[in-house]
Amino acid sequence: MAYKLFPTFKSSGCFIGRYKGAALMKAKITYILELLRTSFWFVPLIIVISAIGLSGLLTYIDSLVDYKPQGFFLYLYTGSAESARSILSTISAAMLGAASIVFSITLVALSLASSQFGPRLVRNFMYDRLNQTVLGTYIATFMYSLLVLQTVKGTEAEVQFIPHLAILFSLAISVCSIILLVIFIHHISVSIQADHIISTTANNLNKSLRKLFPEESEQNKPEPGRTEPQSFTINIKGIPLHSHADGYLQTTNTYGLIELAQKNDFYVKLHCRPGDYVVKDSVLATYYAAEPPRDNLLQNIYKNFILGKRRTPIKDPEFAINQIVEIACRALSPGINDPFTAITGIDKLTSAMCYLTKAHFPKPEKYDTEGVLRLTIRPFTFSGLLDASFNQIRQYGAPSPSVMIRLMEALFVIYGFASKKSDKDDILRHADMIFRTSQITFKETNDFFDLSNRYEKFERI
């Protein structure tokens, strides 16, 4: 008997249930925040709404103040109603034109980044806070000036109401907007440089790795309530749980599944992990228990999975690795032929792999607070992340001696940080593959001699 994943909530390509566990709510909130963070409209919308509210507030304050053109009030005094309208109209037109320029420059940067570094890097430009702030500021200034303009009442002969304070604030933010435009142009010119893009992506990778894989020293504390694993009797054949839709698995609420399994006495084996593409009707997990599950229990199990239209770095450490690898592979393509960019990517991946030699990787078996096995996952491993980092670069960089030599040097550096025998064996496996590939692809004897010298360092150790 097969059961299909049938979510009860659908929004923005994700399928989320209504299970009220704290862990599930945290996973749901994290996913929604990631969607907002990578959207290009959220921050500008907040800025525009703030400007609309500020226009009403300052106009209201102006209505309570009786301005007199003497002393300090000379700096707040605009003059006639026609002068006020002229100032606000000029600011509105200028800000709308500047917003168009900013939008055009942003599109050019996005097009350049997509074509040269890969379409997956577009998301880095999408959640760039300065780009969002600049665009939101110009649109907000336009809206603010427009709303204040319609509050000006009167003619040259008879002035009924002029919001002097609101107009003064409009002039102030206009000056700030000009300065912001200069900062924005400088920021864009820097952000499309290869080294900057790789460094930004590497920083995102390091943050993701430190969050998902803390260092071993942080994992030595015993978990409260944990006892030795107890036996779990399975009296029926496993029941496959099928996905109801296509999509990338964003995250799995493992804590919610363990809590649910402990409460209802069952065991689940997961066949997918975050970042995997799930095909409709494919097996997502297998359910084991002493008796078949009830329908409401199955629905609660299904609600602990989140599917989406694209991969995200929420629980997928390979996502940022693939971004750097894509930059390096595109740099090694015949059309670009830029080994220096590829070498920079290798250096950043080396730092990440050195950290992972000291990191704690989760075990496949997950136990409840009583020590009973409740869940088996497909965890990420050092071997898998090392393959994701260097396999494609080795394949695309085989004709380039400089890239292959730097790969061998990178592996030697990582080998010096590794303390586990399994990690060292994986590093040596990659070094062997690079050496064998170089024997076939290198045409110059001296190039192969340089690589051999670096390869022999492993044997000397």
Contact 206, 352 (CB under 8 A): yes
Q: Where is average pLDDT lowest: 19-33, 147-161, 221-235, 437-451? A: 221-235
pTM of the model: 0.77
Tokens found for residue 386: 């090392």
- Give, as one character, the DSSP assignment of residue 279: P
Tokens found for residue 392: 């494609």
What's the whole-number mean pLDDT along residues 7-32? Answer: 46
What residues form DSSP beta bridges with 239?
287
Q: What is the pLDDT of residues 197-243, one digit of tens each?
A: 889 889 988 988 998 888 765 444 434 444 434 444 454 568 899 98
User: CB count, 10 Å around CB of 319?
Assistant: 22
The H-or-E segment that residue 451 falls in is helix 445-460
What residues form DSSP beta bridges with 113?
none
Assess whether pLDDT exceeds 90 at residue 403: yes
DSSP codes, 152-212: -EE-SS-EEE--HHHHHHHHHHHHHHHHHHHHHHHHHHHHTSHHHHHHHHHHHHHHHHHHH
Share of the chain above pLDDT 90, in %: 42
- Give, as one character, the DSSP assignment of residue 292: P
Domain locations in the chain as residue ranges: 3-20+222-308, 38-192, 314-362+380-460
Higher pLDDT: 119 or 417? It is 417
Locate the DSSP E strands across 265-393.
266-270, 277-278, 283-289, 305-308, 365-367, 373-376
Q: What are φ and ψ of residue 46, in 5° steps?
A: -65, -40
CA distance to 205, 225, 274, 387, 418, per residue, from 212 (Å):
11, 23, 12, 18, 19
CA 299 from centroid of its chain's CA atoms: 29
What's the CA gap between 427 and 419, in Å, rounded?
A: 12
Q: What is the pLDDT of residues 262-272, one digit of tens each?
A: 888 889 999 99
Instruction: Look over the chain and give the mean of its residue pLDDT values, rounded to a whole number.
Output: 83
What's the whole-number mean pLDDT along residues 404-411? Answer: 96
What's the CA gap between 255 and 304, in Å, rounded?
A: 9
Q: How confident is the model at residue 10 (pLDDT cuts 50, 70, 90)?
A: very low
Identity at 101, one-letter amino acid code:
I
Q: How confident is the model at residue 165 (pLDDT cuts 50, 70, 90)?
A: confident
Helices (H) and strands (E) counted in the chain, each on its own, are: 15, 13
- Give, as one character, the DSSP assignment of residue 151: T
Mean pLDDT is highest, among 26-35, 201-210, 309-318, for 201-210
Contact 47, 325 (CB under 8 A): no
Fold adopted by 3-20+222-308: Aldehyde Oxidoreductase; domain 3 (3.90.1170)
What's the whole-number mean pLDDT along residues 305-320? Answer: 86
The β-bridge relationship of strands 373-376 and 266-270 is parallel
Q: Distance between terminal CA atoms of the chain?
A: 56
Assess whether pLDDT exceeds 90 at residue 52: yes
Give 3-state DSSP helix, strand, coil % of the chain, rounded to 5: 60, 10, 30
Q: What are φ and ψ of residue 13, in 5° steps?
A: 85, 5
Q: What is the CA radius of gyration of the chain?
A: 29
Of 422, 352, 344, nearest to 209 (Cα)? 352
Contact 287, 301 (CB under 8 A): yes
